[in-house]
Chains A and B, each alone.
Chain A
Amino acid sequence: MINSTAPTSEEITRDLLPQKFGTRGKIWTVSLMLISLVGVFAYYRQLKYGLEVTHMRDYVSWGIYISNFVFFVAISLVGSLITAIFRLANVKWSTPLTRIAEIIAVSAIVFASIIIIVDMGRPERFMNLFIHGRIQSPIMWDVIVIGTYFFISCLLLYFPLLPDLKILIRFKDQTGKALNRLYRFQGSFWKGTKAQSRISRKSIHILCIIIIPVAFCIHTVTSWLFATTYRPGWDSTNFGAYFISGAFLVGAGGVVVAMYVFRKVYKLENYITIKHFDKMGKIVVLLALLYLYFNVNEYLVPAFKMKKPEAEHLTELFLGEYAPVFWFAILVGMIIPILILVFKKGRRPLPMFIAGSMVVVGAWFKRYLIVTPTLLHPFLPMQEVPQSFHRYFPSWEEWAIAMGSLAGALLVITFFARIYPIIPIQETITEQNGKDEHS
C-alpha cells in the first residue's frame, strides 16, 4: 500500500465495502441492460424464424457465435492463472486481483455456455446431448468440462468470500436490508473459528490444484473442436498450446482493464497500486510474447510449405479479404501491447489500461479469424452452391446477440461488484496485520 501510515482494519473494511451505483454507474448499468435486451430480442427473432436470420450457411456454419464462445472460454482461464497458479506459487501481491479474476472467469464461462446454446438451431434439443451423447465426441468433452469448470470457479469464488460475508453482515446499515438477507443466507454460519478456517484453507488449496488441469482441459478441448476437424488452418497439432497461451493473454488483458476501471470508479488506489500494474504489465508482456511465438509457429510453418488448400487460406489472411482484420489482430492484440508494456512507463495505469483493452479487442478479432476464414476454404471446392454460401458477414441479429452476450457478461461483473467486495476484505486485513507484525 502506498500510504506512509498503514490503514487500520476498520479503514480497510470501509474502503472495500460494496458501494451503491453513482450516476455513471447507473448509466453504465442501464446501457448494458439495453444492449442485452436488444440481444434478447434478436434471439427471440432467431427462435421464431430459425437460424435463417443469421448469415451462417452450409459452409460457414460456425460464425460469430462460436468466435464469441471461444473468446469467452479463453478469457475465463484467467481465474486459474491469477487465483490458482499465483496462490499455489505463494505470490502475495496478487491478493487484490483474485476476486476480480474469479468473477471474470465465472461470468465468462456462464456466457460461453449461453452462446453455445444460442448457436444451436433447436435449443430445446440441448438435453439430447446428455440423453444420446457420444463420449467419443469432443463436443461432449467440451460440455462436460465447461460444466465442471463453472462449478469449480463458483466454489473458488465462494470459499474466499465466506470471511467477507461475515464482515458484510456486520455492516447492515451500509449494505441495506435486502443485501443483508442475501449475505446471511450465503454465509451467516461463518464464525471464523479455527476449525472453519482450517477447512476453508484446505478446500481452497484443493480447488487451486484441481482448477489448473480442468482449465487446461477446457481450452484444450475447445481447441480440439477445431483441430480434430480436417480443415486448412485447423489441421494442427499445435492448437492446444496455441489456444491456452492466447487464453492466458486475453484473460490477463481483461484483468488489467478491470483493475483500472475498479480502481478508478471505487477509488482503490491504496489497494490496487502502481506496483500491481507494473507486475501485471510484465505478465502481459510475457504472455503476449508467448502467444506471438505460437502464432509464428501456426502461420509460418504452413506458409513455408504453402500446400494448395492452406495457401488459399493463408493468402486470404495475409493479403486478401481478411488481411486488415488479421494484421489488426496481430498488431493490436500482441505487438503494440508488447511495445507499450515492455517499458516501465508503459506499465503505469493508463497505458496499461490502453494496452489491456487492445489485447482484449485484438483477441476477439483473433477468434473470429480462427473460425470464419477456414470455413470458407474447405478442401473440396465449393461448387453449385448459392452465392451467399461463398461469403460470410454476420447479420444484425448475430451482432446483437454477440454484443448482448458481451454486455451480459459485463453486467454480471457489474452486479457482482455492487453486491460483494471486489477486493477480498478479510485477506487484505490479514495480510496487513502480517505486515504490521513483521515491521
Chain B
Amino acid sequence: MNIHRFLFLLLALMITVVIRVEAQKDSVEQKEIVRLHYFNSNNSLQYLLLESILKTGKKSEPQKHKVFKIFLDSDKVENHITKVLTDEYGKAKAVIPVSLKPIWDGASSHTFIVVAEATSKEEETSSEFTITKSKIAIDTSSAEDAKSITVRVMKLNNGEWVPAKDVEMKIAVLRLGGLLQVGDEESYTTDSTGTATAEFKKAGLPGDQQGNLILSARVEDNDELGNLSIEKSVPWGIATKPDNNFFAQRTLWSTRFKTPIWLLLMAYSIGIGVWGTLIYLVGQIIKIKKLGDHFMDGSSQPPM
C-alpha cells in the first residue's frame, strides 16, 4: 500500500515538473534583432550591411532568407534604396543607388529605415539607424629614424566639415590574412582636431617588389559615423624579389616538363622492367599457341 502511495506521489511530482518545464518553454520570448551597418571605404565606396538575428531566450540564430526593404530618411517610394534577401548567415548587402544622390547630398546626417515585410506569421516591423556623413584622411611623415601616420576624421555638421573627436580607430599594416598593428597600441582615438597619430614601429617588414606597404586606418561600428576605412601605400617595407626560379627547377612540385631526373630514371626503369617482362610473357602465350598449332598440323611430339 505504501509503495502504491509512493508511486502515486512520484507520478504527481513528475507530471508537475513536466508541466513546469513546458510552461517555461512557452514563456521563453522570441526577439528579432535587426542591425544595419554603414560602410564608407576610401571616401568613395559606400554600402550597407544588414544583419538579422532571432533571439530565443539565450540562443541567437541568423534569420535566413528574410526580405527587408531599406529606405533613406523616409519610407516613401521615392526614398526606397533597395529590397534585400538575407543569406544563410542572416546577412544582406545593399548599395545606395545614384538616383538618391540629391537626397543624400541634401543633409548632414541620414536615417536608414529598415522595414521587414509582413508575412502570414509576422506583422510588418520597422527599425531606424542614423549616421552622420563623414570622411577620413590618412597622411604620413617620415624622418630618418621616425615614421608616423596621421589619420584625420571629419564629420558634416550643418553643411560644414568639422573635426570628429573621440573616434576610436585601428591603424595598421595590411598583411595577408589580417591587420598588423603599426605600433604598441591596439587602437587610437582622435583628439579635438579629429586627428589620431601613430608611430610606425614595424621596421623591416617585407613589402612588395618595390618595398611598398599598405597602411590602413579603420573606424569600426562607430555609433555616429558607422564604419570608415582608408588605405595608403608607403615605401616603408623591404623590397622582395619573387623567386622566379622556383618552378624552373626539377622538383616534385614542378610541371611535368621539369620532372627530377632521378624520378624519371626510377619510373622508366621500373616501367620498362615490369612491362618488358609482361610483353615477354605475352610472347610466351604466342609461342604456346604456335606450338599447339604446329602439333595440330601433324607434329609427332607427344602430349603430357
Contacts and interface: CB of A to CB of B under 8 A. Distances in A.
Given A199-B287, A210-B274, A386-B88, A136 B303 contact: no
A387 B271 CA distance: 46
A189 B277 contact: no
Given A136-B252, A144-B271, A386-B88, A155 B288 contact: no
A190 B288 contact: yes
A279 interface: no
Contacts of A155: 278, 281-282
Interface string B278-304: 101110110111011101100001111
For chain A, what secondary structure do more than half of its interface residues adopt (helix, strand, loop), or is it mixed? helix
B259 A134 contact: yes
Interface stretch (A18-26, A200-208, A396-404): A200-208
B277 A210 contact: yes
A374 B71 CA distance: 48
B275 interface: yes
Given A151-B278, A152-B278, A203-B281, A135 B292 contact: no
B256 interface: yes
B56 interface: no
Interface in A385-434: 386-387
B249 to A, nearest CB: 12
Contact of B256 (A135, A148, A192, A210): A135
Contacts of B251: 136
A14 interface: no
A371 interface: no
B264 interface: yes
A135 B253 CA distance: 10
Nearest to A187: B292
A158 B295 CA distance: 21
Nearest to A386: B88
Interface residues of A, number: 34
B291 A195 contact: yes
Given A144-B271, A387-B88, A193 B304 contact: yes
A366 B291 CA distance: 49
Given A134-B259, A387-B88, A206 B291 contact: no
Interface string B226-260: 00000000000000000000000001111110011
Nearest to A144: B271
B267 interface: yes
A409 B284 CA distance: 29
B263 interface: yes
A114 B296 CA distance: 41
A270 interface: no
A158 to B, nearest CB: 8
Given A192-B303, A210-B274, A133 B292 contact: no
A200 B252 CA distance: 41
Contacts of B260: 136
A345 interface: no
A135 B263 contact: yes
A296 B255 CA distance: 39
Contacts of A133: 256
Given A134-B256, A136-B252, A193 B281 contact: no
A191 B252 contact: no
Contacts of A210: 274, 277-278
Contacts of A141: 267
A199 B289 CA distance: 11
Name, among B281, B289, B302, the residue most crowded by chain A CB atoms within 10 Å (CB to CB): B281
Name, among A152, A159, A194, A195, the residue most crowded by chain B CB atoms within 10 Å (CB to CB): A195
A136 B288 contact: no
Contacts of A158: 285
B284 A136 contact: no
Name, among B264, B288, B296, the residue most crowded by chain A CB atoms within 10 Å (CB to CB): B288
Given A135-B263, A136-B263, A189-B288, A214 B274 contact: yes
Contacts of A308: none
Contact of B284 (A191, A197, A203): A203
Contacts of A148: 274-275, 278
Name, among A132, A148, A158, the residue most crowded by chain B CB atoms within 10 Å (CB to CB): A148
B289 to A, nearest CB: 4
Contact of A135 (B267, B278, B293, B302): B267
A250 interface: no
Nearest to A202: B284
Nearest to A209: B277
A194 B264 contact: no
Contact of B302 (A132, A134, A193, A207): A193
Contacts of B293: 189
Contacts of B254: 136
A297 interface: no
Interface string A127-164: 00000111110000100100010011001001100100
26 contacts: A133-B256, A134-B255, A135-B267, A136-B252, A141-B267, A148-B275, A155-B278, A155-B281, A155-B282, A162-B288, A189-B288, A190-B292, A191-B303, A192-B304, A193-B291, A193-B292, A193-B295, A193-B302, A196-B288, A196-B291, A199-B288, A200-B288, A206-B280, A206-B281, A210-B278, A214-B274
Given A136-B259, A148-B274, 14 more contacts: A134-B256, A136-B263, A189-B291, A189-B296, A190-B288, A193-B295, A193-B303, A195-B291, A196-B291, A197-B304, A200-B288, A206-B277, A210-B278, A214-B274
Give me the 10 closest cross-chain CB pairs, A-B, nearest first: A189-B292, A134-B256, A189-B289, A192-B303, A191-B295, A136-B252, A203-B284, A192-B304, A191-B292, A196-B288
Interface of B: 88, 251-256, 259-260, 263-264, 267, 271, 274-275, 277-278, 280-282, 284-285, 287-289, 291-293, 295-296, 301-304
